[in-house]
A and B are shown apart, each in its own frame.
Chain A
Amino acid sequence: MQYPLPIAKLIESYMKLPGIGQKTATRLAFFTLNMEIEDIQDFSKSLVEVKTELHYCSICGNITQEDPCEICRDERVDRSSILVVEQPKDILSFENMGEYFGLYHVLNGVLSPMDGVSVDDLNIKSLIKRLQDHSVKEVILALNSSSEGEATAMYLSKLIKPSGIKVSRLASGLAVGSDIEYADDLTLKRAMTGRQEV
């Protein structure tokens, strides 16, 4: 027997999410069937809005409703340093920590030939362009400690170094192979103060 088309399509949609297979998708679809219509309307509205209302900041690559983003527009931000992260959600970790007051730059991933990610797929050119503005004195690389994160950091430091700008990496308060997303505030703080020039 096949499921009626609306539920089959919903199962198919759920399966597009990472880590969700057919079994979970089916369970979620039948759960959705029993949800209140208001909740479902909110849900579907958010799904659409996350795409239509949000843009990437044309300066730093962060997700934002207005371009440039709140941080890039903020007059009080220290414009002498740029913190480079892999994902927009990493910015949130640093903002919550409340110890960093500079600018950010989102690479949108790390170099990984195996996954077809090369220099042109990341926001690297836009970073180099930002550095031409002489107010930037330090670039802090806050990439995950995967081997790809490390290679990307090494690549960026080799690229930036000749310009004379100080490049540092977050110190290894972060365990090898760990993600910034899951690091707690204290670990991040320690990593930040112990950052090393590379």
Chain B
Amino acid sequence: MYLKQLNMVNYRNYKQLNVQFSPNINIFIGKNAQGKTNLLESIYYLAFARSHRTNVDRQLINFESPFAKVSSRIYKRQTSNILELVTSNRGKKASINHLEQKRLSAYIGQLNVVLFSPENLNLIKGSPSQRRRFLDLEFGQIDNRYLISLARYQRILKQRNTFLKKMTYQKEPDFLYLEVLTRQLVDVAAIVIELRLKYLTHLEQMAKDIHFQISNQTETLAFHYQTANYDFKQKNDKQTVVDFLINQFSKVQNREIKLGTTLIGPHRDDINFEINDKDLQSFGSQGQQRSCVLSLKLAEIKLIKQVTHESPILLLDDVLSELDSKRQAALIEIIDEDIQTFITTTDLDSVSKELQHKPTIYEVSNGNLVNKGVKNDPK
């Protein structure tokens, strides 16, 4: 899939922008704080109806304006759809072909995007919540069932946490209602975990191959999904997960009541990465962690292709300068398979020569874009 043009009104430092893109490689070049990331962010926003940099939509609205609007027509193999997001202090409106979508779960997934930015390099070392967020966004954009189950999980979790908080201070708490909430939570938790395991297993297989290549055939990458400090494998069916969770919940019940919060479930789960059977978080070098994240991102592209039969759009924000030629080569191999790519950089020199193969170059300055045309093959 690709976008031919992008329209923005009052988005960040873009007052009004209407720009045409190449279906292949687009490079945005400019000094710092000119609006390069803002541009990629707007495409990401159009895909997920949320920014990767903030949870506060108000920050996306131009300082001097009451609303922000982003829209584009997305071309797929068989169809094309117009996506539009408008955000104001009254909330956001997402529409497909001018039809407003009441539920975001009906909107997300129309546009598939893979973003790679320097912050992602922290994925291995960073907090578990970053890794869960990664899973939720990536699997949410390819499987509507995942989005819906996750939303339902979060709602029941909120009810259960509120109830547990109340139980903490009650003389005669209602254990029957807690049992009901636990059962309800476990049922949907099992669906979320089942889907996470399913897609993670695919992702692992593909990332493993890519990582093996980048590491000159020396490193074998492996993922482990952990729930309640227990390694889960895909072969666990839903009933096994349900039984396991119910058993775990019975063990922590007293602590949950004392602390007034839910202690186990997908909102607490994590993934561990291993290289040659050694934990990457504790023992991996920075270079290994980088390769792992790159492999993961590239595997994500393949997973999206496999599930949706369309190539996602790739956004590379200031990340090329962080990747050496070997890693850039792995990237190029994937991009060559016909993926619309948006690259930002302050300096064309950090962009590998192969990536400069006939890209369309735009100069970004202070919320304006100037199309510098197609750069001729430097070779």
Contact = CB atoms under 8 A, between A and B. Distances in A.
A122 to B, nearest CB: 11
A4 interface: no
Contact of A114 (B152, B159, B183, B184): B159
B163 interface: yes
Contacts of A111: 177
A147 B155 contact: yes
- What is the interface of chain A mostly: helix, strand, loop, or mixed? helix
Interface stretch (A68-76, A91-99, A152-160, A188-196): A152-160
A151 B179 contact: no
Contacts of B155: 147
Interface string A157-169: 0110000000000
B307 interface: no
Nearest to B155: A147
B184 A154 contact: yes
Interface residues of B, number: 17
Contacts, number: 37
B174 interface: yes
Interface string A98-135: 00000000000001111000110000000000000000
A53 B158 CA distance: 39
A151 B162 contact: no
A150 interface: yes
B96 interface: no
A114 B180 contact: no
A12 interface: no
Interface in B314-363: none
B34 to A, nearest CB: 39
A112 B159 contact: yes
B159 A147 contact: yes
Contacts of A154: 180, 183-184
A151 B159 contact: yes
B91 to A, nearest CB: 13
A159 B166 contact: no
Nearest to A116: B162
Contacts of B56: none
Contacts of B228: none
Nearest to B177: A155
A113 B176 contact: no
A147 B184 contact: yes
B179 A158 contact: yes
Interface string B36-65: 000000000000000000000000000000
A154 B166 CA distance: 20
A148 B176 contact: no
Contacts of A113: 159-160, 162-163, 166
A119 B177 CA distance: 9
Contact of B181 (A118, A119, A151): A151
B123 interface: no
A158 B158 contact: no
Most chain B CB within a 10 A radius of its CB, from A147, A148, A150, A158 = A147
Nearest to B184: A151
B263 interface: no
Nearest to A153: B180
B156 interface: yes
14 contacts: A112-B159, A114-B158, A118-B166, A119-B174, A119-B177, A147-B152, A147-B159, A147-B184, A151-B180, A151-B181, A154-B180, A154-B184, A158-B180, A159-B176
Given A147-B155, A159-B176, 4 more contacts: A147-B152, A148-B159, A155-B176, A158-B180
Interface of B: 152, 155-156, 158-160, 162-163, 166, 174, 176-177, 179-181, 183-184
Top 4 nearest A-B pairs (CB, nearest first) are A113-B162, A113-B163, A154-B180, A155-B180
Interface of A: 111-114, 118-119, 147-148, 150-151, 154-155, 158-159
